Chain A
């Protein structure tokens, strides 16, 4: 007995029973998985991956490091608190970066990105991009060539920078490597092109900084000895000449702050805050908007859900309790709006509710409202709530109806026969059974409402717009997709949290669609 208990239980073929069972089950699971695979792949490819990709944009910030790789590296050491401009190492690296960015037309894109954080950067980059290949840095090439004509040949640089000197002259080697890459992209042979000015500029800078070139070629050592005597041109002045904003430390602070490839900046912005070198700070009050909009979106969605319940419940009850023929007719009336374009329904409300509209005209005609004091019922919160309640009502009525249909009328009759009043019978017997329908309808309506966009845009005026209107603005107008993604992510999280809370309080098992 003791012996059989010691080892694991074995199957007929000698493998442990547990393993054998798992294998058999795995096969079954795989088969089931294959059945749902088409749907799974479809959902993944068309839904999860695109949405995930969009949400990732809320933190992604590759553009600065990709466009200004050399600058980002040296700018990391710059002390932004000193209120002093970066040194020549940054200017030289930035010159090289900007040259490539301008050639590839990436500088304006970067300008647009940084303009979200600091106003004016957009035109700063655009202007500089036009100037950067006309800087007065050609004097370096002339002086190197005057020193030794071999400096004119690209072969000289190729031999030097593909060889041992590369370690001593990292910036020049980097500029040369990117120049080679650039020529491959353009389909040119690097050894047939003139060596560009920025390579000479970088070389001059590194030699004048006392790069260790003792072991290098005679030519390079001679150059290293001679650069002290060279006539120089200040890159800082060249940039300032293109646009004097380069002398503003704020510009450099912004570049430094947004150098990392992952940024909390968009989320901070979405929470009415901004990233500063000292940490998160709230934005000036006259720029805070998203908090207000999030609160308003939630509040109005709740009001809309509430009014849908109030209006939908009696209709659903009628539908469920009237004779079949009448109920079907009513049902068509409920479904009719579904077959009408959303835009048409929204515009119809405009005609109804505007000051010279149908409702006001009737009220004035009845004498309830003075002609010069017509009610403002559209282009505000009220109009949005009315129009959206109307549009979302079917989503409330249908689940309620299908739940109410399953409630046997005999329960009510039984309650009454036991002496309950109409009200008690309804409230104690009927209503609790219809709650799952209310729950299902509420979730549907609330989640649809929270992401609604077109109706608030048309009838919302300035007090009835939702957060989704701002998301749409940032997607299609301002092109700040990062911020739009951050706002979208927050909205998604809010909905998930509310769903979770709903599950805890009401219980998702109590929700029925029929």
Chain B
């Protein structure tokens, strides 16, 4: 009698627990990794808050570690303890994480929502799916901003103004790494746009790019944080400088500084999510649910209300509206806007995956001389 009771009770318990498990087969906590600042808050407002409103009890923790995401994920993987659920990285890092087996490969059509216009996810994102692990969010560009009060009557229209210290005297800010700078140097040294990477493959081409950079070496302030150039521009330390277009938008429109955009030869790059490899089933289920929501057509278009980066889906572009606070149209501030994208440059991921170590060594040696 007693035994039957115990058995019955324990069976009931098991069934109840099973039901509860089925209901909450998705973890309720998520750790998202991003860049902090205005970009992360645009993600918070456009994706996370609507998601939490629709799914009560989901807890989101942000970790502002995107800049060191690859190194930290590698360390987590070696320690066998992955604490992140979804990581925001630039496309080149996504490729490396995929290479290292640290990011999960996904089938875009299965994991991501179809576009609002009915297109398949793989068509909607198109070429921007640069890696099997990468879930694109935005297109951003690295481009130049200049002080309108320091360039006289002839505001620069070409990226080569950076190398023209006679017409535009003063310091310029460039990122302290070879990527982008080498390409711009070659472009302004007379190399055709579609030959840049062929030239840069050779030792002579690399020397040529460095020789071009050498002509302005004394006039350059090298930045390593995205906030440097906006600060230097605002303080009038530099006449022009490269940075991410969203940072410049904030200097120009939100802080009202005498700065203008130089869209010429802007370098497109992508930023998006990767799911770390080796998540438990519950966590993976939650992340997939979130990612499907956060990268649908409407959500990506919503993000452009808060920051001037272009949505990665083709179907989101027509839905881009006005800035949430300033009320200005965001479309003309997108790097992908036809007026801005008359002369653009596409970052070659494969090239830099191969040549990064080699050219970086040369670049740093040149800098240290």
Contact = CB atoms under 8 A, between A and B. Distances in A.
Contacts of A462: 176, 222, 367-368
10 contacts: A119-B357, A126-B99, A286-B210, A287-B361, A289-B361, A357-B235, A379-B222, A462-B176, A462-B368, A479-B96
A123 B350 CA distance: 7
B101 A354 contact: no
B67 interface: yes
B368 A122 contact: no
B358 interface: yes
Contact of B235 (A120, A286, A354, A470): A354
A355 interface: yes
A293 interface: yes
A286 B207 contact: yes
B357 A116 contact: yes
A289 B224 CA distance: 19
A377 to B, nearest CB: 12
Contacts of B176: 462
A142 interface: no
Interface of A: 105-106, 108-109, 111-112, 115-116, 119-123, 126, 286-289, 292-293, 296, 354-357, 379, 457-458, 461-463, 465, 470, 475-480
A478 B357 contact: yes
Given A112-B96, A476-B67, A123 B361 contact: no
B369 to A, nearest CB: 8
Interface of B: 67-68, 70-71, 74, 96, 98-101, 171, 176, 207, 210, 221-222, 224-225, 235-237, 350, 353-358, 360-362, 364-369
Contacts of B207: 286
Given A355-B237, A476-B71, A286 B366 contact: yes
A354 B237 contact: yes
Shortest 3 CB-CB contacts between residues of A and residues of B: A108-B99, A119-B358, A289-B365
Given A286-B366, A287-B365, A476-B67, 12 more contacts: A112-B99, A112-B100, A289-B368, A354-B237, A458-B225, A462-B176, A462-B367, A462-B368, A475-B71, A476-B71, A479-B71, A479-B96
A122 B353 contact: yes
Given A106-B101, A289-B368, A292-B368, A479 B354 contact: no
A123 B236 CA distance: 43
A74 B112 CA distance: 46
Given A354-B237, A356-B236, A286 B99 contact: no
Nearest to A119: B358
Given A287-B361, A379-B222, A461-B221, A105 B74 contact: no
A479 B368 contact: no
Contacts of B99: 108-109, 111-112, 122, 126
A82 to B, nearest CB: 26
Contact of A119 (B350, B355, B366): B355
Contacts of A357: 235
Contacts of A356: 235-237
A286 B176 CA distance: 17
Nearest to A372: B169
B221 A108 contact: no
A123 to B, nearest CB: 5
A126 B353 CA distance: 11
Best-surrounded residue of A106, A126, A286, A475 (most CB of chain B within 10 A): A286
A149 B360 CA distance: 57
Contact of B354 (A122, A379, A470): A122
A122 B350 CA distance: 9
B355 A479 contact: no
A368 B365 CA distance: 36
Contacts of B367: 462
Contacts of B362: 286-287
A116 B365 CA distance: 16
B358 A286 contact: no
A109 B357 contact: no
A286 B357 contact: no
B221 A379 contact: yes
Nearest to A484: B71
A115 to B, nearest CB: 6
